[in-house]
A and B are shown apart, each in its own frame.
Chain A
Amino acid sequence: MLDRNKIDPATVTVKVDGISVEVANGTTVLDAIKGLNKSVPTLCYSDRMKPYGACRTCLVEVEGRKPVAACHTPVMDGASYRTASPFLTKLRRNITELIVSDHPLECLDCSANGRCELQSLAQQVGLRTPRYESPRTHNPPKDDSHPFVKLEMSKCIGCARCVRACDEVQGSFVLQMSGRGYDTKVIAGNDTGFEAANCVSCGQCVFECPVAALAEPGTREAGLPDQVVNTTCSYCGVGCSLDVKTKDGRVVNIEPSKRGSANRGHTCVKGRFAHQFAHSDDRLTTPLIKEGGKFREASWDEALDLVARRFKEIHDQHGPDSMALISSSRCTNEENYLMQKLARAVMGTNSIDNCSRVCHSPSAFALGEALGTGAGTNSFQDVHLSDVLMIVGANPTEAHPVFGARIKQAVLAGCKLIVLDPRNTELARMADLHIPLRPGSNVAVINAMQHVLIAEDLLDHDFIARCSEGFEEVKATVAECTPEWAAEIAHVDPELIRAAARMYAAGKASQILWGLGVTEAGHGSNTAFGMINMAVMTGNLGRPGTGTSPIRGQNNVQGASDVGALPNVFSDYRSVKDPVARAEHREAWGVEPPTNTGLRIPDMFEAAHEGKLKAMYILAEDVAQSDPNTTFVVGALESLDFLVVQEIFMNPTAELADVVLPGTTFLEKDGTFVNSDRRIQRVRRAIQPVPGTRVDAEIVHEVARRMGVDLGFAAEDGTVDASKVMDELARLTPKWRGVSYARLEAHGFLQWPCPDPEHPGTDIVHRGGEFLRGKARLTATPWQEPGELPDDEYPWMLTTGRQLFHYNVGTMTRRTDIVKLHKAKEETLRIHPGDARQLGIHTGDNVKVQSRRGEVTVRAEVTRAANKGTVFMTFHFPESRTNLLIGDAADEFTGCPEYKVCAVRLARVGSAEA
């Protein structure tokens, strides 16, 4: 018999500098060394990529053998390694001497000075001037054409870290090592430059470059930072951990944190480079009060007194429910908690909501109802453990780039990929199966997939029986939903639907991820329910690599909802009617919280139009621009008696305010965000609030104080201690009871549920099929037409979304260097070549896009990224006002609007030259 353990033992014992250590077989010598808290020099090694073994500076001695390169040599059972000796130092010095012999020695004038790995290696091994006489060197010219990557290839040491970073971390395959021998060099594309090679400007190559061959513009001029602050990105729900480098109180640059749990030392272009908005000249820096239709500057005291007085008056005159608050998923958990406490404990209303209403409320609702937690079930790292991924209505490589990059790596490593999306997204192009379904037909296709699972008996009967309820009902509902039936509705091949269902069911660990293409496409809750059904029916929950998880849009959209900035629940999604939750809040707050369900965002606008809502307090949400049906929203805000907007920049919503309060960016405050996989992470102040502005938590606290209630977290000088807010929040939130700043400091992050201070946090919810609500609920989801359908008059479907380089309405990104990128310059209407031909439209033509509600004119971009019959626009560019077009149809359960489905007609109104 073959004894595998003998041939291939699980662990081996080696000696490092005389210390015996047992490590897993296959461990590299370098990892064994690091495990002992020792180190050896490295240059080409990076723990974010596979070892490469090129620079040879990590050589170690092996007793009885030639030296080996530690980074890529697996340990040998019984071997004895030495990490330092005069011989090794000499070898390392002589290698360094060779490197430096083809390197301009201009350290003082170099952007890497003081942070250069070659420089510190030279110091470490004691290299002075190289002995080689007049060596032939490489001196290609500098290249400053890329806005974020400065090339000084005369300094390149040929370590290929940039190439490997682009391949193995970012997955864009822009760079390569070309040529051979001494003439090996790094090229972009076929030496055709970054742009042509579709560089996404993530900056990872710059981050990895050990020298200044690839450098970030501006770092040379700034010199070394005087402070590095670790914080969490405020753009998307990936929650990348960032190191903010500042000097003299200003941000010099931002780099990915190597210890970041969500991003593992990676970022996208936004988190990395789009930070200049914080120092932008047009920040709001003084409170503004509107008088006679015009804003005038006011002192903080005056503005806050006015806000408190008017809120009190309206409260006394019209009752608590004449007031409503919109909190912000851009702001911290602590600020959101304070906003809902202000609403409930001070104003006495449950009318508080946040923008997850317009994005992922259906996801939270369906997950909560069916499984018992309003959040995704598994963690980012699970994509590396899945063998089938199904991605529905999400474009993570653009909207959640760092997670998208990980999905790409998983697929490149062999994971099967199914994509349901009307667009030819990057992942759709990589997919094993792409179902290019018509916008609005998600439920039909998901129902048909369930039909196939049942009809072909691809079920996990044991899991269904043991862990779920409601199967018979679902079975009855989808009985008629054949692939042929769904194919009619979705305009796709029925065999594709069959194949996708089979592929999903065949996976040992299949995972479903979805995005706004589910929740903003009408009947979003039912689509989410359907996908959860699929996972339950095939037993794909509660294990690594399985699960059903929405990819959440904004940085803290999860957190804003988790902490109770919602009209029907306290934090932890506990109903405002739940007696236990009420008692806990009563005790903590000292007041009786209101009982009636408050207004959701769309209802608020409705109520304003009806005259029932008199006052609103909007925190950092540009609803006048980002909400659907812009005209209706603007009308609602105009009809209010009193509107307070707290913002960092003047925007269309703030224009309508009676009082504008200048808040701060994430760079100026302390707090926490919750990312898409329930990861609570710290936000830390990197720069002082810009003069004239105040931290948002403080402002909310002040408003409450002036209304006569001390929320209880402010020091003498009015500053709010965010950690104290967290303590109260954690006390009132059963699934967060183990969360505190001290623990976050120690662990870096905690994933809720984390019910007690000993609890390590939860990477996978519902482990072993033990659902938080007991049994998983299978939910019947009968098919309904979307609220919006094309007809002869409006024959095209418009769907909206994001592009990589911008973020939402662009308030932040458009004030940064991102605009230097050619691709980020203007809005376009993306249209399939076939459709374009039919309409006589060419790239660059002006096209009038008309929906049943409004019209806008944009330039066309003819591209195969759009599917036939469906055109695409983003909402990043205020001047194109995409949302003027969108209707007010909404999800029946949550009121989430149908951004993704809009019937339009198209007409060319001017040529490319016009």
Chain B
Amino acid sequence: MYEVELGVTLREIIFELAGGMAPGQTFQGVQVGGPLGGILPESMLDTPLDFEAMAAKGGIVGHAGIVVYSMEDDLMKVGRGLMHFCAVESCGKCFPCRIGSVRGTELMDQMIETGVTDARLALLTDLCETMKYGSLCAMGSMTPAPIESLLQHFPEALERYRRPAAE
């Protein structure tokens, strides 16, 4: 637990205060503020930790917990876990979150098991948009954030699962 002033960059926090990556591990991404926060890549590490700057990069400050993923972490599976988190936590009142989180989990499972295809990616993108703009509360509307950041900043994490469309 560190107390820092607003405006300190993520890089300072992770690599100076917290002492950087463990031996043998390479930085892949960082998620701030809990499971509803976007995952930011290396190139965004100079973002200062304050509300506006984080929001501008698609992240949040949230509860300011910081989770760092190394190259050994499979961000596809992380993303699936975050969708599943939403499915477990959803109160079930509004339709996009109640159904979307379950469909999202299934879809990511399918991508992991039988491969990423353009059609599945398009559906995932649509689903994220639907949940983001359609959900009643922050639970459903913010769940897509880490998934969207994945699609945006970590295409290689998905491409690992790419299968030719014919399969």
A95 engages B88 (CB within 8 Å):
no
B103 engages A98 (CB within 8 Å):
yes
Interface residue A56 (Cβ < 8 Å from any Cβ of B): yes
Q: Which 3 A-B pairs have the closest CB atoms?
A: A184-B92, A94-B130, A98-B99
B130 engages A99 (CB within 8 Å):
no
Interface residue B100 (Cβ < 8 Å from any Cβ of A): yes
| Cα-based distance from A94 to B100 in the complex (angstroms) | 10
Interface residue B73 (Cβ < 8 Å from any Cβ of A): no
For this complex, 24 residue pairs linking A to B, each with C-beta atoms less than 8 Å apart, are A53-B94, A53-B136, A54-B95, A55-B95, A56-B136, A59-B133, A67-B134, A69-B136, A91-B134, A98-B96, A98-B100, A98-B103, A101-B99, A132-B123, A135-B102, A135-B106, A136-B102, A180-B90, A181-B88, A181-B101, A181-B102, A182-B99, A182-B101, A184-B93
Taking the closest CB of chain B, its distance from the CB of A175, in whole angstroms, is: 16
List 11 additional A-B contacts (Cβ < 8 Å) besides A91-B129, A91-B133: A54-B136, A56-B95, A56-B136, A90-B129, A95-B134, A99-B99, A133-B106, A133-B107, A135-B102, A181-B101, A184-B98
Interface centre among A90, A180, A181 (most CB of B within 10 A): A181
Interface residue B26 (Cβ < 8 Å from any Cβ of A): no
Taking the closest CB of chain A, its distance from the CB of B167, in whole angstroms, is: 13
Q: Mark B42-83, 1 if CB is under 8 A from A, else 0.
A: 000000000000000000000000000000000000000000
Q: Which residues of A contact B106 (CB under 8 A)?
A: 132-136
Q: Which of B97-154 contact A (CB under 8 A)?
A: 98-103, 106-107, 110, 119, 123, 126-127, 129-130, 133-136
Q: Which residues of A contact B119 (CB under 8 A)?
A: 131
Interface residue B87 (Cβ < 8 Å from any Cβ of A): yes
Q: Which residues of B contact A102 (CB under 8 A)?
A: 99
Q: Which residues of A contact B18 (CB under 8 A)?
A: none
A95 engages B129 (CB within 8 Å):
no
Instruction: Give the nearest-CB partner of A43 in chain B.
Output: B95
Interface centre among A56, A135, A177 (most CB of B within 10 A): A56
| Cα-based distance from A158 to B107 in the complex (angstroms) | 22
Q: Which residues of B contact A135 (CB under 8 A)?
A: 102-103, 106
Q: Mark B150-161, 1 if CB is under 8 A from A, else 0.
A: 000000000000
Chain A interface residue count, Cβ-Cβ cutoff 8 angstroms:
31
| Cα-based distance from A179 to B135 in the complex (angstroms) | 19
Q: Which of A662-705 contact B (CB under 8 A)?
A: none
A56 engages B90 (CB within 8 Å):
no
B90 engages A98 (CB within 8 Å):
no
Interface residue A6 (Cβ < 8 Å from any Cβ of B): no
Interface residue B91 (Cβ < 8 Å from any Cβ of A): yes
| Cα-based distance from A69 to B93 in the complex (angstroms) | 14
Given A94-B127, A95-B95, A182-B90: A133 and B110 within 8 A (CB)?
yes
Given A98-B100, A101-B103, A132-B103: A67 and B133 within 8 A (CB)?
yes
Q: Mark A150-185, 1 if CB is under 8 A from B, else 0.
A: 000000011000000000000000000101111110
A-B contact count (CB 8 A): 92
**Interface on A for B, CB 8 Å cutoff?**
53-56, 59, 66-67, 69, 90-91, 94-95, 98-99, 101-102, 131-136, 157-158, 177, 179-184
Instruction: Give the nearest-CB partner of A131 in chain B.
Output: B123
Question: Which among B92, B107, B123 is the interface contact of A181 at CB below 8 angstroms?
Answer: B92
Instruction: Give the nearest-CB partner of A92 in chain B.
Output: B134
| Cα-based distance from A184 to B136 in the complex (angstroms) | 16
Question: Which among B92, B126, B133 is the interface contact of A66 at CB below 8 angstroms?
Answer: B133
B contact patch SS = helix
Interface centre among B91, B96, B135 (most CB of A within 10 A): B96
| Cα-based distance from A67 to B123 in the complex (angstroms) | 21
B87 engages A182 (CB within 8 Å):
yes
Q: Which residues of B contact A136 (CB under 8 A)?
A: 102, 106
| Cα-based distance from A132 to B135 in the complex (angstroms) | 19
Q: Which residues of B contact A59 (CB under 8 A)?
A: 133-134
| Cα-based distance from A132 to B109 in the complex (angstroms) | 12
B135 engages A56 (CB within 8 Å):
yes
Instruction: Give the nearest-CB partner of A55 in chain B.
Output: B95
B126 engages A94 (CB within 8 Å):
yes
| Cα-based distance from A582 to B32 in the complex (angstroms) | 91
Instruction: Give the nearest-CB partner of B107 in chain A.
Output: A132
B130 engages A91 (CB within 8 Å):
yes
Q: Which residues of B contact A98 (CB under 8 A)?
A: 95-96, 99-100, 103, 127, 130
Taking the closest CB of chain B, its distance from the CB of A96, in whole angstroms, is: 9
Taking the closest CB of chain A, its distance from the CB of B71, in whole angstroms, is: 31
Taking the closest CB of chain A, its distance from the CB of B126, in whole angstroms, is: 5
Instruction: Give the nearest-CB partner of B102 in chain A.
Output: A182
| Cα-based distance from A257 to B102 in the complex (angstroms) | 38
Taking the closest CB of chain B, its distance from the CB of A138, in whole angstroms, is: 11
Question: Which among A131, A157, A183 is the interface contact of B95 at CB below 8 angstroms?
Answer: A157
A179 engages B95 (CB within 8 Å):
no
Instruction: Give the nearest-CB partner of A179 in chain B.
Output: B92
Q: Which residues of B contact A99 (CB under 8 A)?
A: 95, 99
| Cα-based distance from A56 to B101 in the complex (angstroms) | 15
A95 engages B87 (CB within 8 Å):
no
A183 engages B129 (CB within 8 Å):
no
Taking the closest CB of chain A, its distance from the CB of B78, in whole angstroms, is: 21
B90 engages A54 (CB within 8 Å):
no
Q: Which residues of B contact A157 (CB under 8 A)?
A: 95
B129 engages A182 (CB within 8 Å):
no
Taking the closest CB of chain A, its distance from the CB of B38, in whole angstroms, is: 17
Instruction: Give the nearest-CB partner of A185 in chain B.
Output: B92
Instruction: Give the nearest-CB partner of A157 in chain B.
Output: B95
Instruction: Give the nearest-CB partner of A67 in chain B.
Output: B133
| Cα-based distance from A133 to B114 in the complex (angstroms) | 12
| Cα-based distance from A340 to B95 in the complex (angstroms) | 60
Taking the closest CB of chain A, its distance from the CB of B89, in whole angstroms, is: 8
Q: Which residues of A contact B102 (CB under 8 A)?
A: 135-136, 181-182
Q: Which residues of A contact B89 (CB under 8 A)?
A: 181
| Cα-based distance from A736 to B92 in the complex (angstroms) | 54
Q: Which residues of A contact B126 (CB under 8 A)?
A: 90, 94
Taking the closest CB of chain B, its distance from the CB of A127, in whole angstroms, is: 12
A95 engages B130 (CB within 8 Å):
yes
Q: Which residues of A contact B93 (CB under 8 A)?
A: 53-54, 184
| Cα-based distance from A423 to B93 in the complex (angstroms) | 41
Instruction: Give the nearest-CB partner of A88 in chain B.
Output: B133
Taking the closest CB of chain A, its distance from the CB of B31, in whole angstroms, is: 23
Q: Which residues of B contact A56 (CB under 8 A)?
A: 94-96, 134-136
Taking the closest CB of chain B, its distance from the CB of A332, in whole angstroms, is: 47
| Cα-based distance from A180 to B110 in the complex (angstroms) | 24
Taking the closest CB of chain B, its distance from the CB of A712, in whole angstroms, is: 61
Interface centre among B92, B110, B129 (most CB of A within 10 A): B92
Q: Which residues of B contact A180 (CB under 8 A)?
A: 90-92
Q: Which residues of A contact B92 (CB under 8 A)?
A: 158, 177, 179-184
| Cα-based distance from A126 to B77 in the complex (angstroms) | 33
| Cα-based distance from A180 to B94 in the complex (angstroms) | 11
Question: Which among B94, B101, B103, B127 is the interface contact of A54 at CB below 8 angstroms?
Answer: B94
Q: Which residues of B contact A66 (CB under 8 A)?
A: 133
Taking the closest CB of chain A, its distance from the CB of B101, in whole angstroms, is: 8
Taking the closest CB of chain B, its distance from the CB of A117, in whole angstroms, is: 13
Taking the closest CB of chain B, its distance from the CB of A64, in whole angstroms, is: 14
Q: Which residues of A contact B110 (CB under 8 A)?
A: 133
Taking the closest CB of chain A, its distance from the CB of B109, in whole angstroms, is: 10
Taking the closest CB of chain B, its distance from the CB of A572, in whole angstroms, is: 54
| Cα-based distance from A66 to B88 in the complex (angstroms) | 26
Taking the closest CB of chain B, its distance from the CB of A67, in whole angstroms, is: 5
Q: Which residues of B contact A67 (CB under 8 A)?
A: 133-134
Q: Which residues of B contact A184 (CB under 8 A)?
A: 92-93, 98
| Cα-based distance from A129 to B76 in the complex (angstroms) | 27
Instruction: Give the nearest-CB partner of A44 in chain B.
Output: B95
Taking the closest CB of chain B, its distance from the CB of A88, in whole angstroms, is: 9
B91 engages A181 (CB within 8 Å):
yes
Given A132-B107, A136-B106: A158 and B95 within 8 A (CB)?
yes
Taking the closest CB of chain B, its distance from the CB of A105, in whole angstroms, is: 15
